[in-house]
Structure 1
Amino acid sequence: MKENLLEQYGYTENYVKNVLSDLPERQHQLQLQPARIIAQHKNYYQAATAHGEIISHLAGKYLYANDAMGGFPAVGDYVLVKLTEQKDRAVIHELMPRKTMFYRRNNFDKSELQVLAANFDTVFICMALNRDFNLHRLERYVIMARESGADIAIVLTKADLCDDPDSKAVICETVCPGIPIYTVSAQEKKGLEQLLPYFGKGNTVIALGSSGVGKSSLVNALFGEEVMETSEVRESDDRGRHTTVHRQMIVLPGGGLYLDTPGLREIGIADAAESVSEQFADLEVLQTQCKFKDCRHERETGCAVLLALEEGRLTPDRLSKYRKLLKESAFDKVKSRYLYEKWQASKAFSKQLKKQKKGRKEKF
């Protein structure tokens, strides 16, 4: 039996059974069909359906909704749509539960969260082995990736521009223990075979990294053809220009999927205290050894963290990064909670107005 487009984009009946057991009944009642968002533009989406690729628009209820909590569809999302009779257009009615997602603060209102991508299986954290190599940035990316809920792999690109790529990989391993690390060169096509298993049929990969680290070149080299558009890197600073102008999913040779999206460098770490703690597990252990439970690790006697600093088992830089990231996470969490409560209050107020309006009409 020939596979339809929706299945090519990773949709299976097992997904329905796992996350939405009542889908068949709702499909019958409302004539809704499953689809996956494969591209996002300013005023519309492109969706993969069993009938092919279809331009889709949001149902009217979304026009008056508050997207503060990421309620609008994003690339990678599974949705329920109603097709036109000609099956050439669709209206998005419902958003299915997400298994993973990346989000950031809204460009216009920094207190709002905007989902950028959803339902990916693996995050490639890409960092070039030239002037882009930065352990602070790597740790931050790892925290972001952990918060998404997906599996993680660190890909050190442009190994051909580094005299000793293996030593850089060892350094990364000490900072991010337990995460697979690969050194590759798209130019020389070295180490690429290690990454192919991540692109199994129906599996979705998304890359996180600075522009110019070779994310597009990496995907092209992996599959031996230009599936991604690339641009030249400036010689002055090894930085690239964004070639992605809108978020999209790409079906790769062999059936794997790549989610290409701009703006991932701006992802925040709202409510990511657990992921920060996981990344700094050594500090979490030290804190349990302090004499006082409310130890601030500043001047207290019996502080295990200060002792580790004194003995050289912990660097001041690592402690500073830990404090900074925890503080940022806590701040974002407070703002997110405030926003949610504000949204709920607005929703309740809107319902009350509708009731009052309905009551006035009934009087006349």
Structure 2
Amino acid sequence: MKENLLVQYGYTENEGNSALKDLPEVQTHLEPARIIAQHKNYYQAATVHGEIISHLSGRYLFANGAAGGFPVVGDYVRVKVSEEKDRAVIHELLPRKTMFYRRNNFDKSELQVLAANFDTVFICMALNRDFNLTRLERYVIMARESGAAIAIVLTKADLCADPDSQAIICEAVCPGIPIYTVSAQEMTGMEQLHPYFGKGKTVIALGSSGVGKSSLVNALFGEAVMETSEVRAGDDKGRHTTVHRQMIVLPGGGLYLDTPGLREVGIADAAGSVSEQFADLEELQLQCKFKDCRHEQETGCAVQLALEEGKLTPDRLAKYRKLLKESAFNKVKNRHLYEKWQASKAFSKQMKKRKKER
């Protein structure tokens, strides 16, 4: 018997989406659905009836418009399906287990949620002239905030003379994160990524335009399901081939969430992840003689001593300070959205801990 589309897109009432199972059934006329594509004026949703064009209800727009709590690709929602089963109205957003967000480029004091309910973040970076470690660190910091697992995928290995050396450089900047070098053009290294795409598991691909995210999904799928384009010859910068976020079901049952390239990753309220990314600096600061050390000219400053001994570079210290300052500065207006998400993340960690203890 063929699975219905909603199940194909990861919906389950067992563990994996326990948040859905525990919700009270207060509106029995509503059905579960998952947002699988987001367009300017409508959504595509996977339901038990198939793929349906969906719109937000007027009440939802009024209640959530100012708060920024609109559904995004990957979200589970509750909808009212038309009698013809060809249209649906979104009435409710279900709790998110993971979420990728950044500072809103149009309103610097708000969060912009880009995707939700994924299991792994693929941070994609091309091994050509667009290789940028500073940008990579920004992506890693925001990926840590999402609550999902992280893997770094170095694409276009066929354009690099020594991809293994570049991987070692990335490992020094992002220790503990799995790093894979692949070439979608030559179909090399792709087998390393297959374990992430277990049945019903969702992977989101993030990266700048032109890093090869769409080529990656084509290679994983085995045929061209996403349009691709060449990068500019002058600087290897890419054009936006993917113009909206969408989910694709791979032959093995895994889910790939493709996203347009991000030109900017504005960090907001991510001090914890900044500290995690710069754990070496956090450890150094604990060794200072005075607890209120500003790490400038104080006696017994472990940070300044590390600089003098060459164990810490001025560039790394400057980046750490800049990112902490940016995170603190970009406080969001919609605090209740952020706080609700943090509470959800804490609950998710608690549930994972309980499962391990069983």
TM, length-normalised to structure 2: 0.89
1:340 maps to what in 2?
A: 335
- Taking the aligned partners of 1:70 and 1:342, their CA distance within structure 2 comes to 8
Give the match for residue 131 of structure 2: 133
Tell me which residue corresponds to 2:206. Answer: 208
SS of residue matched to 2:185? coil
Cα distance in structure 2, aligned partners of 1:63 and 1:176: 40
Gaps of 5+ in 2: 339-358
Task: Measure the CA separation in 1 of the matches of 2:188 and 2:319.
Answer: 34
**Pairwise CA distance, 1:150:** 1.0
Mean CA deviation greater in 261-270 or 315-324: 261-270
CA distance in 2, matches of 1:73, 1:294: 43
| Unaligned 5+ runs, structure 1 | 344-364
Q: Which amino acid aligns with 1:255?
A: G
- What is the correspondence of 1:146-225 to structure 2 with a 5 Å cutoff? 146-225=144-223
Following superposition of structure 1 onto structure 2, how do residues 201-350 of structure 1 map, counting pairs within 5 Å?
201-262=199-260, 264-332=262-330, 335-336=331-332, 338-340=333-335
Q: d(CA) in 1 for partners of 2:154 and 2:111?
A: 30
CA contact (8 A) 1:68 1:114 kept: no
Partner of 1:13: 13
SS of the aligned residue for 1:127 comes to: strand
Q: Look up the match of 1:3.
A: 3
CA distance in 1, matches of 2:110, 2:70: 12
Q: Deviations over 1:197-247 (max 9, x none)?
A: 111111111111111111111221223211211011111111111111222
Q: Secondary structure at the match of 1:61?
A: helix
Trace 1:24-43 onto structure 2 (pairs within 5 A). 25-26=25-26, 29-43=27-41
Structure 1 consecutive aligned stretches of length 4 or more whose deviation exceeds 6 Å: none
What SS does structure 2 have at the residue aligned with 1:308?
helix
Q: Name the CA distance, whole Å, in 1 between partners of 2:220 and 2:22.
A: 40
When structure 1 is superposed on structure 2, of 43-52 and 111-120 the one drifting more is 111-120
- Please provide the CA RMSD for this pair: 2.0
Partners of 2:337 and 2:22 in 1: CA distance: 31
Partner of 1:98: 96
Would you say the 8 A contact 1:287–1:304 is kept in 2? yes
- 1:270 Cα offset (Å): 1.1
In 1, the alpha carbon distance for the partners of 2:116 and 2:107 equals 21
On the 8 A contact 1:69/1:113 being kept in 2, the answer is: no
Secondary structure of residue in 1 paired with 2:101: strand
Secondary structure at 2:78 match in 1: strand
Pairs aligned (count): 338
- % identical equivalent positions: 84
**How far 1:108 sits from its partner (Å)?**
3.2
> Does structure 1 conserve the Cα–Cα contact (< 8 Å) formed by 2:74 and 2:118?
yes
Normalized against structure 1, the TM-score is what? 0.88
CA offsets 1:228-275 (integer angstroms, 9 cap, x no match): 110111111111111112221111111111112225443322110110
Q: Larger helix proportion, structure 1 or 2? A: 1
